[in-house]
Structure formats: structure tokens, C-alpha cells
Amino acid sequence: PKAGLEDVVAGTSEICFIDGHEGRLLYHGYDIHDLVAHSTFEETVFLLFHNRLPSRQELADFDAALRAERALPPQGLSLLATLPASAHPMALLRTMVSALGLYDPDGEDNSPEASRRKALRLTAQMATLVAAIGRHRDGKAPIAPDRGLAHAADFLYMLQGRAPDPADARVFDAALIMHADHELNASTFAARVTAGTLSDLYSAVTSAVGALKGPLHGGANEAVMRMLREIDDPERAEAYVKQALAQKRKIMGFGHRVYRTEDPRATHLRRYSLEVGERHGDTRWYRMSRRIEEVVLAEKGLFPNVDFFSASTYYMLGIPLDLFTPVFAVSRISGWCAHILEQYGNNRLIRPRAQYVGPTRETYIPLDER
């Protein structure tokens, strides 16, 4: 087998389709470009959970249910207050997701109805949790959700303490739509492997958060912003990239296991990076990103992935750098839950084989004779 299970089809799913050659991304048949143009995060979550678009009434009910579930249990908030503020936010998130399972009234109930309730609850609470983690790190008290705000706007409010500019909230809503699912990416696969043992939803999501934490997956958006800050000046971008490539270093935010052309999400995030930069009077990060993009394409033939322009977009939205990966989870929780529910719905234990390449006829030598 190819290393890293490249191109291995590991199961069937009707949630998400990626055509890596044509650069197409569909959620149950709906093109990501149409969803970005017309949908909301709430409607996209409904689509992922139910494999169809909601009616107006269904969407209103689903949205109301998400708003009603957004508050964190008080025990969860008390626990967070005791955790080290200096820890990486993804480590805090991993611990807190696991802990929320302890306080969920449906905790160990793995019936289909209870799992659906947990999926909705955790999707709603992820935004509140990440905002609370962001504030905890600055020594600030958490802000309770505002039921009057849509999911994306409420996250920015709970993080920053003021209702966001509606145009910023719309950009963040689109970013949530674009990050919601992506087939069998590493964290979703991890979630399905855990769900496949018939473990509970919180255990499966905790596995996913651990996988998302790594720099080759969700950690890349944070690494992109660190690189942009290190370069600091668009004029220096070309020399920086050329030197990094000469040293065989990877440029974060480029390349993809599946896409061989532009990631369709990058097309929108490039536009948003400019739009938000202009609105906030600072297009430096956008200009620097564009220069890096040109050089990496010319030198390596690599296209930006979802993480590249989301970095400068989030930065201009005022999201702190080390919250970028948890923000990925604010959206991807919906895809994880959709895949976990799908796994439960037609489960068989996921247990592949390894091609054994070690010796087979070793002679055991007792310890004191070695």
C-alpha cells in the first residue's frame, strides 16, 4: 500500500464528495460555491446531519434548537477555569470536549435519538467553548451566548465581547460553511474509527480533536499566520519562500493529499482575505499572501489549500492566532458528528491490516545471554 493510505477508499459515505482533479467539493450533492453564495452555517449543518436541505420551518426549528443548546454546563465552565491558561488551546479543547461528555444528560446513551441530540448539542456548544477558551487564555471571564445572534455572529461576540460588524459575521459564516466537512480527512477518519467501536459520540469527537491538532492537518492555518508575521513585509515574501524551498522546508497552507488543482475553498477565502483586509484598513497580509502564492506556484506548482487564505482572513477578523485551529473545530464539529451518525447508522468495526515487513523467525535469547 502507498504510505499514508493515499488514494485508499476506506468506506462509503453520502455526506461529502471531492473531485481533486476538477477542484469540486460537494456536500451531499450541493456545490460548495452555491452553499457559500446562498446558505448559512445552520442550514449547512442541517444538510450534513439529514442529507437534505431543510424547509423554512425545519430550518427555523433547527436554528432555535442550536441557539437553545449553546450555553455550556456550569460544571464545564468551572473546570475550564482550573486548567492552565498557558496550555495550547487545542489541548484545552481536547480535554474540555472529553469533559463535556461527563455532564451531558445523554452521556452514555448511545441510542440513535440520544446520539442525534448529542451531535446537535456539541455542535452548538463548540462555538461557546472555543470562545471561552480564547478568553480564559487572556484571563478573561467567559461571555454567555446571545440567543438573538446567529451562530457565526455569536461566536465572534462571545470571543470579543461586542457584536461583530454584520459584514464580518457574514465572512465568518461562509468560513464555517467551507470548513464544515471534507470527506475522510484525518480527524474525521479518526472520529469514524472510534465511533466504529460503538464508543460514544464524545469519545469519537475527542479522537478527532486530537488528530486536528497536528500541523499537517488543522494546525496549518496557525502555522501560515506565524509565517506571515515572520515575513512581515510583502517585499520580503519572494526571498523567504525561495530560501525555505531551497532548504526543503514545506510552505504551510500549500499542497493537498486530494486536490491537484486549486482547492475551491481557497478561491473564496482569497476574496474574503482582501475584502476583510480592505474593510479593516490593512491589506498587507493579503498582499503578502498573494506574493507567496505566486512564488510557490511558479517554483513548485503547488496551489493554496483552505488554510492559506483563512489565516489572513481570521487575523483581520480579530481572531487571535493560536485560536485558528480551534476555530476550525467550531465548524468541523458538524462534519465529525455527521460522519459519526452515519457510522453508527451502518456500523462495522474499522480494523484494517498492516503489511508486515519485520522478521518472522527470530530465535529468543534469554535476557542474561544477550
Cα dihedral sign for 325, 327, 332, 336?
positive
The pair phi, psi for residue 254, each rounded to 5°, is: -125, 155
Q: Which stretch binds ligand COA (CB under 6 A): 16-24, 108-116, 149-157, 251-259?
A: 251-259
CA distances to 120, 152, 167 from 317, rounded to whole Å, are: 26, 12, 10
Cα dihedral sign for 121, 46, 176, 158?
negative
Q: Is 307 a catalytic residue?
A: yes
Q: How many residues bind ligand COA (CB under 6 A)?
A: 16
Measured from the CB atom, the residue of 63 and 263 that comes closer to ligand COA is 263
Q: Is 181 in the site for ligand COA (CB under 6 A)?
A: no
Q: Which of 74, 100, 82 is nearest to 333 (CA)?
A: 100
Q: Which stretch binds ligand COA (CB under 6 A): 73-81, 105-113, 254-262, 358-366?
A: 254-262
Q: What residue is closest to ligand COA based on CB?
A: 255
CB 287 within 8 A of CB 233: no
Point out the catalytic residue in the list 182, 256, 268, 339.
Answer: 256
Read off the amino acid at residue 282.
Answer: D
- The residue written with cell numbers 481570521 in the block is 314
Q: Name the DSSP class of 85.
A: T
Using CB under 6 A as the binding rule, the residues of this chain from 294 to 323 that contact ligand COA are 300, 302, 305-307
State the Cα–Cα distance between residues 205 and 226, nearest whole angstrom: 27
Region for residue 331 given its phi and psi (left: phi exceeds 0; alpha: psi -120 to 50; beta: otherwise): alpha
Helix (H, G, I), strand (E, B) or coil at 302: coil
Residue selected from 27, 49, 155, 254 as contacting ligand COA according to rule CB under 6 A? 254
Taking the complex as a whole, the smallest distance from the CB of residue 219 to ligand COA amounts, in Å, to 8
Measured from the CB atom, the residue of 121 and 256 that comes closer to ligand COA is 256
24 strand-pairing partners:
19
Using CB under 6 A as the binding rule, the residues of this chain from 116 to 175 that contact ligand COA are none
- The residue written with cell numbers 544477550 in the block is 370
Measured from the CB atom, the residue of 147 and 260 that comes closer to ligand COA is 260
Residue selected from 18, 251, 274, 337 as contacting ligand COA according to rule CB under 6 A? 251
Using CB under 6 A as the binding rule, the residues of this chain from 18 to 77 that contact ligand COA are none
CB 53 within 8 A of CB 292: no
Taking the complex as a whole, the smallest distance from the CB of residue 336 to ligand COA amounts, in Å, to 16
Measured from the CB atom, the residue of 295 and 338 that comes closer to ligand COA is 295
Helix (H, G, I), strand (E, B) or coil at 196: coil
Q: Which stretch binds ligand COA (CB under 6 A): 61-69, 87-95, 170-178, 247-255?
A: 247-255
Residue selected from 87, 216, 297, 350 as contacting ligand COA according to rule CB under 6 A? 216
Residue selected from 70, 117, 213, 256 as contacting ligand COA according to rule CB under 6 A? 256
Q: Which of 41, 214, 29 is nearest to 123 (CA)?
A: 41
State the Cα–Cα distance between residues 273 and 291, nearest whole angstrom: 14
Q: Which stretch binds ligand COA (CB under 6 A): 163-171, 205-213, 245-253, 313-321?
A: 245-253
Q: Which stretch binds ligand COA (CB under 6 A): 43-51, 150-158, 249-257, 362-370?
A: 249-257
Helix (H, G, I), strand (E, B) or coil at 354: coil
Cell digits for 251?
510552505
Residue selected from 134, 142, 196, 253 as contacting ligand COA according to rule CB under 6 A? 253
Write out the residues near ligand COA by the rule CB under 6 A: 4, 216, 220, 250-257, 300, 302, 305-307
Q: Would you please indicate which residues are annotated as catalytic (active-site) residues?
A: 256, 307
